[in-house]
Each structure stands twice: as C-alpha cells, then as structure tokens.
Structure 1
Amino acid sequence: MWLDLALCLSCLVLSAHGQDRAPLPHSSNHTGKCLYTFMVDNPAQASCPGATGDPEMEGVKSRLTLLEALVNRLLGDKGAGGEGARPGGDKTTQAACFQAMGEKSQLQEDKKQLNRKVQELQKRVDKLSLEAETLKQRPCHQPQAAGVGLQLHEFNQRAASNPSVTAYQEMKAEVTEIPASRLIQEAGQNNKGCGELVSLGEPVLHRKADSINGKYGVWLQDPEAVGGTYSNRTVWRIDTVGNDVRQLFAYEDMEQFAKGFPMKVLVLPEAVESTGATLYRGSLYYQRRRSRTLLRYDLTSESVAARLELPHAGFHGQHPYSWGGYTDVDLAVDEQGLWAIYSTSKAKGAIVVSRLDPESMEVKRSWETKIRKNTVANAFMICGRLYTVASYTAPDTTINHMFDTAIGKGRAMAVPFKNRYRYNSMVDYNPAERKLYAWDNFHMITYDVRLGSPSSTSQ
C-alpha cells in the first residue's frame, strides 16, 4: 500500500515537471492545420556540463530521495509494529516466567526455614514442658531449721499484735517441721525404692524413624547390663513391621541413636512377633513369630540361651491389645525382675501376669486379673504392679487400671497419659532410668516416671 502511494506521488511530480520543462509551441499553416514545433539539443550541446545539471531536475531527484526515505521509514515502522512486536512480547513473557520461578524458589526456601524453626520451637516446648513438670513435682513444704521456725513464729505474733503491720498477715506461711529420717526415707523411696505410680512427665522425643518399617517397633536399654561389649548406655532397636523381622540394631549411646548411627546389627536366629520384646541382664527376651514360644537371646554369644513354651498363652491375634499388631504376649521388666503379660483360653481374654526366671525362663508364679486385654492399648510393670493404658490414639488418655501382685488385687485409676503422635504401639518401663520407653507412630519417646508412697488400696 505504501509503495503504491509512493509511485503515484513520483508520477505526479514527474508529470508536473514535464509540463514546465517541455512546452510545445504551435501555429496554423496556410491550410489551417495546427503545427507543433520543438527543439532538440545537438551532440555538442548535450555534452556540455550544464546540460544535465538543470536545477529543476535536481529538485526532482531530491524530492524522490525524500519520498524513498519516507517510504522506507513507513515500511520500517510497520515491521516494528507488526511482525517485530512478537519477539519483543516473547522476551517480556520469558522475563516474567523467570521472575515467577525465582519467587517460587525463594518461597520454598522460606518454607524450609520456617519448618526448621517450628521443629526448634517444638523441641524448646518439650524441654520447657519437662522443666514445668519437674517443678510441679517438687514438694511445696521444705524443712526448716528450729531457729528459723522460731523467728517466723515470733514475726507472726508481732504482726498480729501490731496494727501497723497487719498488711503482712496475708503473707504468713505455715511451716511444718518434718523429721530428717522421714525426708530421707521418702527421697530414697521416690528415687530408688518402690511406690505407686503418681504421674508421668511430658513425652520427650529422641528419634523419628525414616522409613515405613518404623511405624511401630521396640526400642529400649538394658537396666541391668552385665558389662563387656554392651552397657546400660547401649540403645537397642527393632523395627517390627514385616513378616520376617530379625534385625536387632545396637547403638553406642543415646546420642548415636538420635543420629541414626548403629555400631552393630545383629541377625536373630528366629523371627520376632510384634512389639513385646524386652532387655534384661545382657539378654533379649522375645516371642517367636506365630507361636507361644519365648526365647532368651544372649547378646554376647549371639545365640539362643533358653526357651519356654508359655502354657496356654494365646498368640498371633488371639488375645492382643486393642491396637492389634499380634500383641498377645508382652514381656516386661521392673524392680522385681522379668514378667510376661498375656491371656489364655481359661482366662477368657483377661490379662494374666506371670513372673519368669530370667535364666531358665521358668514360670515362678501367675496372677489372673479382671482386666480384659483387648480393651486396653498397652501395659507395663512397675514395682510388681501391672498398669494399663486406656487408648493408643487419644492425645490425652489415662493409665486406667492397676493390679498389685503383692496383694493379688487391682483397682481403677486415672493417671494422665499423652499419645502425642496418635499411634502408641509399645510401652516399656526401665527401672534403672525410671522412665517409660514408648514407640508412638514412627517416634521413639520417653516419659519420666514419678512414684509415690506404697498403697494397698484396691478393689
């Protein structure tokens, strides 16, 4: 279109110039006809310097040059505004995409940093909760010296008789004098002796499993290690998810356990059934898969040292805890030794507690309770007493039953218990550490245990 316009303009310019430059004179002859005449330059005139340098012709050339420049500019603007606009638009789009990708990467990095901060805050919360629980457990009454008690008594008398100090009467405190022998007795009982379970501390996380095999399992320490290769600082772990569980992981201490660096992996000769295994005096005690047979595996010699066919015990899902998992036989350790928690067809699903000889695994004595095994989530022994957990999923549940083997009676109770991760599949007591070890939905945790004075109250 622009090219046609330029050609038209050129023709108009040339035609106008031709009219001014080549007029044809005319006249009539004697016959009446019109005669036109014109002049042609001869060769000598055409060769003159000024023959082709007419100013008007130069002006035409100048106009044509300007027209060509105008046409070129118009064509160039059209290309820039039409076809040339697309590459520019593509570059703008690419720049926007790169910017969006950069912002996405930055947001992902910010998310990772926030997750790390949340984990750090959770650890601090756990630590503060443990400190708060420790403070709660401290006795309110402190022993006072006789002189201090006398001075406080005199101050109270003066405050009561002097009106100017009546404002201090609200701050008076009663001081109970406790004999030193009683304090020593209670301290020894709470730290080393036996007593009834009073409370548990907040759950403390030590490690989280890094694969699906770690959803539930067993982890613990030997309360009475016999020395040699392993000590009471050694941490042991078994992932019990699978049909042929045989690997026993040993960690040098709790620090290496938290990092996930085992110092040794033992392969058990026979597969493990569920989460009921325990450690005691250098041996691992566990139930063989799909049987009522109990094995004592010596950790030093790495061989089976004793075995027991637990009389009439249910196995492989006949009498499990409420969470299932083939938890028919649960082995436990406390201040009095080795125990088996299970049920029989004769007991019709009620929990039976048997005390075992740690060397031969012979049953020394058994007690039948009135607690239905499939109605409780888990159980453990402390000081010859059986305790049961009400739920394995409720975040705030209770230890709801106690059975005292010393008197052969039990009763209901309600000690708060927390399932922080909502799937608690193993609870075991360590009398040396005075802690409960638990496996809660991939998380390996402990609870501090507080015992009170012995009580014979039962029902």
Structure 2
Amino acid sequence: MGPCCCLLLLPLLAGAQQQQFMEYVERRLALLEERIAQWHDQSSRYSTELRDFKNQVLGMLETAEKEREALRAEAEGAAARVDRLEREVDYLETQNPAPPCVEVDEVLVEKQAATAKQRKNEKYNKLTDCSDTIASVRAMKILKRFGSSAGLWTKDAAGSSEKIYVFDGTANDTVFVFPRMREFTLFSATRRAARIKLPYPWVGTGHLVYGGFLYYIRQQGPFQVIKFDLANKTVVDSSVFPAEEQIPVFGLSPFTYIELAADEEGLWAIYATKENEKNICLAKLDPDSLDIEQMWDTPCPRENAEGAFVVCGALHVAYNTRLPSRSRVQCVFDVSGTLPPEEASLVYFPKRYGSHSSMKYSPRERQVYAWDDGYQIIYRMEMKKKLEV
C-alpha cells in the first residue's frame, strides 16, 4: 500500500492502530534507507576497484609496449650482427687459400719411398748439440679424468703457447682446445674449450702439435699425414706415408699405426711394417714438406709395447703386460750412435690405472703428457748427459 492510501485511512483508524502503523512505516523506511546506503557503499567500492584495475592494466600495457620495443631493437641489432658476421666469413673465405689436393699420387709416393730407402739405417747427422737422455721419472702428477679410455693430450712441442689440445678417443674429427692448464683441470672442462672440426677424421693417438700446425693421421684410405694450420683452420699440406703394408706400431695399442713425435731435433714418425713386423721402425720427417729424410730399423720389439717418444734423437719405447702393471722404458735406440742400448737407463713409470694409449714428450718442458685409461698424467723427467750414463 502506498503512502497516499495510508494518509486516507488515518481518520478511520483508532489512535493506537495509527501509532502502530506509523511505527511500521518508519521501520520500513529505515530499512530501505539502510539498504540504499549499503548499495551506495558497495557501488563506491566497486567503482574504486574498477578504477584501480584499469590503472593497473594501463600500466601493464605500457610496460609490455616498452618491452616489445626493446625486443624489436635487440632483434634488429642481432640481425645486423649476423649480416656483418656473414660478410666477414665471406671475406675470410676469399682470403684463405684453397686446401691442397690430397689425392694419392702413386708415382710421388714410390719416389719418396725409394729416396728414403736409399738412406735407410745410415748414420744420422744431428741438427743440434742435444746430448741429454732420461735418467729417471722425477715426479708424476695426475691432472684429472676426462673423456674415453684412450686418447691424447698435448701442448705445442715447438712453441711457447700454453694451449692444451685434446683428442678424445681413437677416431673422431673434433679437437678440444683449452687456453691454459687451469681451464682444462676445471670440473666442467668442455664448457671452457674451443672446438676445431677437422676437414678429415683422424685415427689412432699418434698426432702432434708442432710450430703452430697440427700433424695428424687421416682415417680413411692409405695412411696420410695431414698438416693443418691452427691459425687459419686450413689444410696446408699432406703426404702419403711411404711404407708398404703397415701394421699397428705398438702391440698393446692396436689403434695406432703411425706415432708422430717431436724432440729437440725436430719431427719423427714411429711405425711398423709387415716386412719387419717384430720390430719398430723410425723415420725423420721434414716438418715443412712432410718428406721422409731418413729411415731406421730399430731393435725395439713391438710385442708388449704401449707407447714411445723421442728425446734428443733417441727413441724410447715403453713396455707393459696385457694385465696392466708398471710401465718401463726398456728399449732405447739412438740414431746418432752416441748412446749404446746397453748403457741406457731402465726407466720405470709409477704403477697406473691401465695402459698408456699415448705418451707425448715436450722438449721445452722436459716432461711427458700421458693418457692412461682416461686419466691425464704428467711425468716430469730427470735428465743426464749421454756420456755420464
């Protein structure tokens, strides 16, 4: 009933009833005012929250727009850098010489072999006055365990660089390069290493870094010595090793057919052939042309041999047993004839984990970098004069 009807009925009602009716109307009006006030409060609150949410969304949109602009600028910068890098690579490719032909020239190989055989077992004219020989192993240091059970690690045998070169395994095409020994000894070593992908896969553990070049044995086809320029990352020369029917040079390392070595005299190749399959052969190489200057048949047997290196023109062969025990150098062949084999010191290496898969002598540091069942080891040598042995 509306307010107008209520006023018309007032004269008809008794005084008490009128009073009750008025109280009822006032309560209803008070309740209605209270609900209107609640609605007003809720409406104000919702309006404030909506305004705050709108401001928040506008701020987020503004931030997203700024981030989008930053990402666009970074993408444009990256595209510019990629474009510049592609131009630089194109320029370098035009500056680097084309890789030499590494096809086998049979006539040239036969000529090299004939020339080398003419000088086979002749007396060697030394290039230096080096007259030292190994007296004993002064100290042994185990650096770490890295990579496969067989491999090779070394420094540049003819330079002052502190870089470490690592050949993991016996057949691959990628070489790890660490700037210093410290980076190599870190736990997560491969993260600190550069990688050199070679144009041809390598085989065995007889490779060598010498004078800024990597000399390695190519995996496929006849045994080729590849000369790789580490600065330009290009092949600068190659040569087929002129030895017929080659066999593994070490009885305990069947994966190595040619062991390249360096000493104070220069570059050497240690190998074996079916013609003289019981003993190890030695050849002097020209590091510039890869020609064989001279060859020798040594009295050092292949059986139970696990590695070898050259010191001052003398071949040192390390032996072991098929059940690993102590390695020892028990055969020394001096190409100059100044150190008779019977007068050479019998050198023992400390007992190890397994068998040496590679042993690289550093003439600058007078120590051997060895790989023993995945462990990288340094042997520091005690030297003596040959005449004092």
TM-score scaled by length of structure 1: 0.52
> What letter corresponds to residue 206 of structure 2 in structure 1?
G
Residue 369 in structure 1 maps to residue 298 in structure 2: yes
Aligned residues: 254
d(CA) in 2 for partners of 1:351, 1:456: 27
Q: Which residue of 2 aligns with 1:454?
A: 386
Q: Which residue does the alignment assign to 2:157? A: 223
| Post-superposition offset of 1:456 | 9.4
Contact 2:155–2:209 under 8 Å retained in 1? yes
From 168, 183, 186, give the equivalent of 1:256.
183
User: Aligned match of 2:352 in 416, 420, 428?
Assistant: 420
Letter in 1 for 2:138: G
Question: Secondary structure at the residue paired with 2:182?
Answer: helix
Q: Tell me if structure 1 keeps the 8 A contact 2:263–2:313.
A: yes
Superposed, 1:143-222 pairs within 5 Å as: 193-209=130-146, 211=147, 214-222=148-156
Instruction: Say whether 1:275 aligns with 2:205.
Output: yes
Q: Runs (4+) of structure 1 moved beyond 3 Å? A: 392-395
Work out the CA distance in 2 between the residues paired with 1:241 and 1:355: 24
* 1:434 aligns with one of 357, 360, 366: 366
Q: Is the 8 A contact 1:249 1:262 kept in 2?
A: no
When normalised by structure 2's length, the TM-score is: 0.61
The whole-number CA distance in structure 1 between the counterparts of 2:291 and 2:208 is 16
Q: 1:420: how far off? A: 1.5
Q: Distance in 2 between matches of 1:324 and 1:273?
A: 12
Which one has the bigger strand percentage? Answer: 2
Contact in 1 for aligned 2:319/2:330 (Cα 8 Å)? yes
Please list every run of 5 or more consecutive structure 2 residues that lacks an aligned counterpart in the other structure.
1-128
Query: Does the aligned pair in 1 maintain the 2:300–2:332 contact within 8 Å?
Result: no
- CA separation of 1:202/1:235 partners in 2, compared to 1, >3 Å: closer, same or farther? same
| Residues 26-425 of structure 1 aligned to structure 2 (within 5 Å) | 193-209=130-146, 211=147, 214-225=148-159, 232-242=161-171, 245-259=172-186, 260=189, 261-290=191-220, 291-315=222-246, 318-391=247-320, 394-407=324-337, 411-412=341-342, 413-425=345-357
Residue 401 of structure 1: how far off its partner (Å): 0.5
- Which structure 1 residue ranges, 5 or more long, are not aligned? 1-191, 226-230
In 1: Cα distance, 2:132 partner to 2:253 partner: 31
Q: Residue 203 of structure 1 aligns to which amino acid in structure 2?
A: M
Change (3 A) 1:424 1:432: same
Q: In structure 2, do the counterparts of structure 1 residues 346 and 217 end up closer, same or farther at CA, with 3 Å as the change threshold?
A: same
Contact 1:215-1:441 at 8 Å conserved across structures: yes
Give the 3-state SS of the residue equivalent to 1:452 in structure 2. strand
Matched residue type, 1:221: K
Distance 1:356 1:336 in 2: 10
- Secondary structure of the residue that 1:426 maps to in structure 2? strand
Q: Relative contact order: is structure 1 or structure 2 higher (C-alpha 8 Å, sep ≥ 6)?
A: 2
Identity of aligned residues (%): 25
> Quick one: distance in 1 between partners of 2:214 and 2:303?
26
